[in-house]
Amino acid sequence: MLLFNIAPRKMGASRLHRAAARARREELTSRLPALLGNRVLAGPFAGMALLENTSWRDGDFMPKLIGSYESNLREVLAQAIERSPATVINVGCAEGYCAVGLARLLPNVTVYAFDIAAEACAICTRAAEGNGVAERVVVGGRCTTEHLSRILEFPERILLVMDCEGAERELLDPAKVPGLAKCDIIVETHGSDITSDLEARFCPSHDFNQIAQGGRDPNEVPELRKLDESDRWLLVDEGRPESMMWLALWARTPSQ
């Protein structure tokens, strides 16, 4: 009975806290770019220009500007780049943070960027233009197994980076897309069942490792150290509903 009486008050306090945090984050997001500029400050995509436009919520604009966004992937991205992909596919490109960032890091590579949201595709296109890589970033809408099959006909090594809210189960199917067997893949998996399913599918052709959501350092950027600690942590908050998991799948088939 006691828990029944307390629960509504707790839920109300939680909603109030989230509303206050959201309002403060909006205030910081509107104010800080004028002081920090519009270029990513740290991480693998440091120096990339960001557009203020977003296609969903605030687009995690401040974590991206700071460079802390998905910082747990820095090591696997570096490993993927060292493997010298000739082509990159980014499914779930959103505003182009990863697609444009990889195009800048791999100056001889074409990046195929897909997203189901038309607004996201438009922003990604403008981001590529603003960073001088528009001729190498090909933006499309919904990605299908047919799209993947056509691109994976290329003989060179291909890197596939995917964050598509569960559609990875359908798209990452070697039975439908045999070319995936020679493709390096970094995918955010939405559910433990999907993770185990993908590991079983790719065990014959890939080595893999799981990457858990990790900590983010709000003190990495010196310009932020003058802010209150609560503000610094709020700026690197990605608002995820639970701790997320990624898979890095490394093709054993050598590039041609």
> Greater confidence, 190 or 119?
119
> Greater confidence, 215 or 74?
74
Number of domains in the chain: 2
Q: How far is CA 154 from CA 139, 150, 200, 228, in A?
A: 18, 8, 25, 51
d(CA 90, CA 43): 19
Residue 214 pLDDT: 80
Full residue range of the structural domain in which residue 17 is found? 1-31
Q: Are residues 154 and 203 in the same domain?
A: yes
Residue % of the chain over a pLDDT of 70: 94
Q: Are residues 144 and 229 in the same domain?
A: yes
Mean pLDDT calculated for residue range 234-253: 87
3 state SS of 212: strand
The 10s digit of each residue's pLDDT in 62-105 is: 999 999 999 999 999 999 999 999 999 999 999 999 999 999 99
Q: Are residues 7 and 76 in the same domain?
A: no
In a domain, 142, yes or no: yes
Whether residue 4 has pLDDT greater than 60: no
In a domain, 256, yes or no: no
CATH number of the domain enclosing 203: 3.40.50.150
d(CA 153, CA 178): 10
**Considering the chain, what is the average pLDDT of its residues?**
90
Give the Cβ contact number of residue 206 at 10 Å.
Answer: 23
Q: Are residues 25 and 121 in the same domain?
A: no
Cα angle value 55/80/182 (rounded, 5°)? 100
Q: Are residues 12 and 66 in the same domain?
A: no
- Model confidence at 220, in pLDDT bands (50, 70, 90)? confident
Residue 9 pLDDT: 52
The 10s digit of each residue's pLDDT in 121-167 is: 999 999 999 999 999 999 999 999 999 999 999 888 999 999 988 78
Q: Are residues 130 and 49 in the same domain?
A: yes
d(CA 121, CA 56): 12
- Range from 21-30, 74-83, 85-94, 111-120 carrying the lowest mean pLDDT: 21-30
Mean pLDDT calculated for residue range 9-17: 69
The 3-state DSSP composition of the chain as helix, strand, coil percent (nearest 5) reads 45, 15, 40
Q: What are the residues whose beta carbons fall under 8 Å from the beta carbon of 92, sequence distance 6 or more?
A: 114, 115, 162, 163, 164, 165, 167
d(CA 141, CA 161): 16
Q: Are residues 51 and 149 in the same domain?
A: yes
